[in-house]
Amino acid sequence: MKKTRWRGLLAAAMMTLALAACGGNESAGSKPSNSSATNYPPKPITIVAPSGAGGGWDLTARAITKVLDESGLVKQTMIVENKPGGGGAVFMAEYATQEAKNDYKLFVNSPPIIINNLKKEGNSPFGYKDTTPLAQLTKDFGAIVVKADSKFQTLTQLLDAIKQDPKSVTVAGGSAPGSMDHLVAILPIYKAGIDPKSIKYVSYDGGGEAMAALLGGNADVIATDASSVGEYLKAGKVRVLAVSAPERLDGVLKDVPTMKELDIDAEFTIWRGIFGPKDMSREAKAFWEETLKKLSEHEKWKEELQKQGWEAEYRNSDEFTKFLQEQEQQVGDLLKSLGMYK
């Protein structure tokens, strides 16, 4: 009788343990990563602008943190940190070597993360492949700009003049040789079959100085961001010959032709996006993918885009990485045409 009772108690105990184990497995398996992801971030987040205050990267970083905070999408404190130097190359060297596993430090960037990595002189050994691309959030395009009273009425006229005598036209931009404005400037020239190395390019410290040089008669044409020329166009100070967009832009630039319209098979996107460390944890990456998607759809972000004059373009991590691979090929081709590929 005692044996029978003991066996019954043992069987009941084993069944209880089995049920508990099944229940534990079910609860653990129902949310394999979300339970961890919901605990992230447990401490403040830093978003780095690899530039001084007031530039495009700085404005983007501050807009992102502002909306994430005001919308409640991120509960933790968010800090913007400026790390200028080498067009972002100084920060990248530090980030790739010392912050590869730091889930609490992100940064914003744009085409220079590719350009600096591929350029022969002053190049960075680190690029987007040393990061985790999280999302593209905005897009802009290049613009080829002359003074309102310039003899060049069209891009075709400008290219014809350069073909006849490349040194007769002074081309300027707000970035160093081989950097973004220079590449935008030589894009239609290269596609028109002209040797880009024959072009006289003058670099200035930022788009504002390049515009001042144009208006002051020290440059015949400049390449710059399309979003930065609206006020000058409305004031009647400049003429925009073409933009590097796939189709015509809205607003004040609606009458400006694309390069493709002018039979120049050229397109270039000036994007801005946000990146994490190369060895970012799965939980942190999942959190930011979901959060940045929500950011891109939030009304407060749309208001910020309008305020800054930016155009929305959201790509998730996988789409963004594929796009970066495509742009890497394009930038590499342009640098090779200049003899500036490493």
Across residues 5-16, what is the average pLDDT? 45
- The tens digit of pLDDT for each residue in 198-229 reads 999 999 988 899 999 999 999 999 999 998 89
* 269 DSSP β-pair partners: 141
Q: Kindly report the pTM of this predicted structure.
A: 0.84
- The tens digit of pLDDT for each residue in 299-342 reads 999 999 998 888 999 999 999 999 999 999 999 999 999 999 99
Residue 18 has pLDDT above 70, yes or no: no
Within 8 A by CB and 6+ apart from 143, the residues are: 184, 223, 224, 225, 226, 228, 229, 240, 242, 243, 244, 253, 256
pLDDT-derived band at 56, boundaries 50, 70, 90: confident
Give the per-residue pLDDT at 55. 81
Residue 9 has pLDDT above 90, yes or no: no
Separation between Cα atoms, residue 154 and residue 68, nearest integer Å: 43
pLDDT-derived band at 6, boundaries 50, 70, 90: very low
Separation between Cα atoms, residue 36 and residue 72, nearest integer Å: 19
pLDDT-derived band at 16, boundaries 50, 70, 90: very low
Task: For 187-249, give the DSSP string.
Answer: HHHHHTT--GGGSEEEE-SSHHHHHHHHHTTS-SEEEEEGGGSHHHHHTTSEEEEEE-SSS--
Residue 3 has pLDDT above 80, yes or no: no
Tell me the pLDDT of the chain averaged across its residues. Answer: 89
Q: Is the peptide bond before 41 cis (omega within 30 degrees of 0)?
A: yes
- Identify the CATH assignment for 45-139+270-337 out of 3.30.420.40, 3.40.190.10, 3.40.190.150, 2.30.30.280: 3.40.190.150
Residue 96 has pLDDT above 50, yes or no: yes
Q: Measuring CA to CA, which residue among 271, 219, 210, 220 is closest to residue 245?
A: 271
- Tally of helices (H runs) and strands (E runs) in the chain: 12, 10
pLDDT-derived band at 30, boundaries 50, 70, 90: very low
Task: For 322-338, give the DSSP string.
Answer: HHHHHHHHHHHHHHHHT
Q: Measuring CA to CA, which residue among 180, 187, 233 is closest to residue 204?
A: 180
Q: How many CA atoms within 13 Å lie on the side-chain side of 313? A: 17
Separation between Cα atoms, residue 294 and residue 288, nearest integer Å: 10
Quickly name the fold that domain 141-262 has.
Answer: D-Maltodextrin-Binding Protein; domain 2 (3.40.190)
Q: Is residue 317 within 8 Å of residue 285, measured between CB atoms?
A: yes
- The tens digit of pLDDT for each residue in 273-308 reads 999 999 999 999 999 999 999 999 999 999 999 988
Q: What element of type H or E holds 79?
A: strand 78-82
Which amino acid appears at position 131 of this protein? T
Q: Which residue has the higher pLDDT, 314 or 26?
A: 314
Q: What is the DSSP pairing of strand 131-147 with strand 200-203?
A: unpaired
Give the per-residue pLDDT at 87. 86
Residue 59 has pLDDT above 50, yes or no: yes
Q: Measuring CA to CA, which residue among 30, 28, 29, 40 is closest to residue 285?
A: 40
Residue 20 has pLDDT above 90, yes or no: no
Give the per-residue pLDDT at 86. 86
Q: Measuring CA to CA, which residue among 160, 219, 186, 148 is closest to residue 339?
A: 186
Separation between Cα atoms, residue 22 and residue 9, nearest integer Å: 20
Give the per-residue pLDDT at 5. 46
Give the per-residue pLDDT at 122. 66
- Burial category of 91 from C-beta neighbours within 10 Å (exposed 0-12, middle 13-18, buried 19 and up): buried
Q: Is residue 248 within 8 Å of residue 258, measured between CB atoms?
A: yes
Give the per-residue pLDDT at 223. 97
- The tens digit of pLDDT for each residue in 136-191 reads 999 999 999 999 999 999 999 999 999 999 999 999 999 899 999 999 999 999 99
- The tens digit of pLDDT for each residue in 235-249 reads 999 999 999 999 999
Sole residue written with tokens 């940045």:
292
Of all residues in the chain, what percent carry a pLDDT higher than 90? 80
Residue 111 has pLDDT above 50, yes or no: yes
Domain spans in the chain, listed from the N-terminal domain onward: 45-139+270-337, 141-262
Residue 15 has pLDDT above 50, yes or no: no
